[in-house]
């Protein structure tokens, strides 16, 4: 039988035709036997011409309508209509032949019985062949899975899985009690409580979530429910992929942290997105970074006149320029994209770019942001985050840039590290600039961690789980706010459009997440158990390694309680303390000199004077300073 399966396609089609040529006349004879109470040789001779004509009419018609072109193991419900049409046409042709030959005593009931019998035979034979071939092709080593969601998406996914060999769907799971015990496409539907039974009886390893249209909150509830069973959970693509017919087995993905947050993204206000971008000349600093690159993608979709990319890293700049150029061509928009390899410290170059290309809007995302790295290299962090912002803001004012938006961070609130202090100082610089002039509107947008950014804990945890552990955690009580990069970028663009001058905007990040809870859930949803005193047989250990230099247990978004709502539900405006421009200028000159002298103690003292909320969590961690002291 295996040799038959491996025959060339043309040979299989010929075999199917020969089988039909044998069984269709038999179906016609059976129709005659059914119609007449007694059958003799004379009666069969009377219908002899029609019996012989059955395959002569049916086979060519079946060939013409494509019945033999269908691959047996992939046929579905659409084939039923093809079978009905083919059989109907062949019966009509037989009836026409009997009329033309003027055959007498031909019963019309025979044609009706044959019509129904032929449909039954042709359809059942194909389905039986599909079932048999499907069983032959089933991979005994395939991973046994269940699909959560016995709706349209679940059925599409089950059909897609049949085409492959890696996954074998043995059950549907659904919370609709009316469906429990029923069978869909030969697969039984179970309640979620039956998961342990499916694991025990069938060796089920994974659950695929096929609920693309449910809200994030509902999806989180389902994931919470599945977590206790400690089976690996994966998620199907969005409903848009299903609508576009793009669902592929390759698109099934692991559970991401955004699935665990249960946070539905608020649709952006298109009018706000467009105000500072459409038909404007826009510049993004740090265009190759996590936030900067997503800002560029979002900006391009708003059809700017030109988009300037400023980036220090040659590879990052090349990558984002290539991606944006391809996106521009795909969207068929006329936008001039210019990549500039350079630094925000180069005032002369900044001036030429701003004046020469008449920049209207600046999104300043360039910054050193990794807390431990900046703690070990504080002077470079200050030069880039503080004085880089200072020079970029001055160039914008000199060139008459209309709008300047700083990408800030929750670590600027009561900072315990150099990075947070430098970002708060950058905010103070922009606030002071906003008060001393009116040509450029400055504002800042402050938010927490973004998912998928460089240095994010999620890809690190996933990598550690794949390697068998341990998961390294700095502290069991550490919590963080999280938001997706696209959502953060959209909110930045909308907040920037609301700026009146010196505004500090704060994004609603939802509820903070305990990182250890996040790690445990990632382990459980991978079908594994955390190793602990309660579960010594667990496979993945979570190991505390201690807080890194400058790291906080809890992040905040507001320094005080003086905050007001805006027209956008996820954007708030904070009222924060400011510094006068004259006082700030004197202090910055002193700070610049201290950085040039590598006077670390003085640098820290000046930062504490400027950012009064700055409470260092550790000593001076700079490698050069430590080496000098040891010597």
Catalytic residues: 411
Alpha helices in 361-405 (DSSP H): 371-376, 378-382, 388-399
Helix (H) or strand (E) holding 353: helix 347-356
Q: Are 235 and 209 in contact (CB under 8 A)?
A: yes
Query: Tokens representing 586?
Result: 């004197």
CA distance 439 to 403: 9
Look at the block and give the residue holding tokens 């008449």: 358
CA distance 486 to 295: 8
Q: Are 481 and 512 in contact (CB under 8 A)?
A: yes
Of the candidates 234, 186, 175, 178, the residue with the CA atom closest to the CA atom of residue 210: 234
CA distance 411 to 447: 9
Of the candidates 15, 5, 14, the residue with the CA atom closest to the CA atom of residue 136: 5
CA distance 478 to 516: 8
CA distance 516 to 99: 82
Which CA distances in Å does 384 have to 30, 342, 415, 450, 456?
A: 89, 13, 17, 21, 21
Beginning with the edge strand found earlier in the chain, give each strand of the sheet holding 441-447 in spatial order.
336-341, 306-311, 281-285, 361-364, 403-409, 441-447, 503-507, 571-574, 563-565
B/e letters for 459-471, b = 16+ CB within 10 Å, e = fewer, are eebbebbeeebeb
């Amino acid at each position: 039988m295996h040799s038959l399966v491996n025959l060339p396609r043309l040979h299989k089609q010929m075999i199917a035709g020969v089988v039909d040529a044998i069984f269709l006349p038999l179906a016609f004879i059976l129709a005659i036997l059914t119609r007449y109470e007694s059958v003799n040789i004379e009666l069969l001779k009377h219908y002899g011409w029609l019996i012989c004509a059955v395959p002569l009419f049916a086979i060519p018609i079946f060939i013409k309508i494509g019945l033999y072109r269908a691959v047996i193991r992939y046929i579905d419900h659409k084939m039923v209509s093809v079978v009905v049409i083919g059989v109907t046409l062949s019966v009509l042709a037989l009836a026409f032949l009997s009329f033309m030959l003027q055959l007498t005593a031909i019963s019309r009931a025979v044609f009706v019985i044959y019509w129904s019998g032929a449909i039954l035979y042709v359809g059942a034979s194909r389905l039986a062949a599909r079932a048999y071939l499907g069983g032959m092709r089933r991979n005994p080593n395939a991973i046994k899975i269940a699909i959560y969601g016995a709706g349209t998406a679940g059925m599409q996914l089950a059909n897609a899985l049949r085409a492959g060999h890696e996954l074998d769907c043995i059950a549907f799971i659904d919370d609709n009690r009316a469906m429990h015990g029923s069978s869909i496409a030969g697969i039984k539907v179970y309640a979620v409580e039956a998961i342990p039974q499916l694991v025990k009886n069938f060796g089920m390893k994974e659950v695929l979530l096929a609920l693309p249209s449910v809200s994030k909150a509902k999806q989180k509830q389902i994931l919470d429910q599945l977590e206790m069973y400690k089976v690996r959970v994966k998620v199907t693509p969005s409903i848009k992929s299903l609508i576009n017919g793009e669902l592929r087995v390759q698109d099934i993905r692991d559970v991401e942290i955004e699935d665990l947050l249960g946070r539905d993204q608020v649709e952006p206000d298109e009018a706000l997105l467009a105000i500072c971008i459409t038909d404007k000349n826009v510049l993004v600093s740090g265009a190759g970074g996590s936030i900067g690159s997503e800002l560029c993608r979002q900006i391009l979709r708003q059809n700017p006149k030109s988009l300037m990319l400023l980036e220090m890293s040659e590879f990052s700049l090349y990558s984002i320029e290539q991606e944006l150029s391809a996106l521009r061509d795909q969207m068929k928009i006329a936008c001039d994209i210019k990549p500039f390899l350079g630094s925000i410290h180069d005032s002369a170059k900044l001036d030429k770019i701003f004046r020469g290309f008449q920049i209207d809007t600046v999104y300043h995302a360039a910054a050193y942001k990794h807390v431990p790295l900046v703690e070990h290299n504080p002077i470079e962090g200050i030069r880039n985050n503080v004085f880089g912002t200072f020079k970029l803001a001055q160039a914008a004012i000199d060139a008459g840039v209309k709008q300047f938006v700083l990408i800030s961070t929750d670590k600027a609130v009561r900072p315990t590290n150099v990075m947070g202090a430098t970002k708060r100082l950058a905010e103070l610089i922009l606030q002071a600039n906003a008060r001393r002039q009116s040509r450029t509107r400055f504002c800042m947008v402050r938010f927490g961690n973004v998912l998928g950014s460089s240095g994010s804990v999620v890809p690190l945890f996933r990598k550690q789980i794949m390697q068998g552990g341990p998961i390294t955690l700095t502290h069991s009580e550490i919590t963080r706010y999280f938001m997706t990069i696209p959502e953060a970028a959209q909110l930045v663009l909308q907040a920037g459009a609301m700026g009146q001058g010196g505004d500090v905007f704060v994004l609603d990040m939802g509820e903070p997440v305990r990182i250890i809870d996040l790690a445990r859930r990632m382990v459980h949803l991978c079908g594994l158990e955390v190793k602990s005193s309660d579960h010594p047989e667990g496979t993945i250990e979570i190991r505390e390694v201690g807080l890194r230099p400058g790291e906080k247990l809890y992040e905040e978004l507001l320094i005080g309680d003086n905050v007001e709502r805006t027209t956008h539900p996820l954007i708030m405006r904070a009222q924060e303390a400011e510094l006068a421009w004259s006082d700030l200028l004197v202090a910055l000159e002193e700070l610049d000199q201290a950085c040039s002298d590598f006077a670390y103690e003085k640098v820290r003292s000046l930062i504490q004077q400027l950012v009064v909320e700055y409470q260092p969590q550790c000593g001076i961690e700079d490698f050069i300073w430590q080496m000098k002291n040891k010597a």
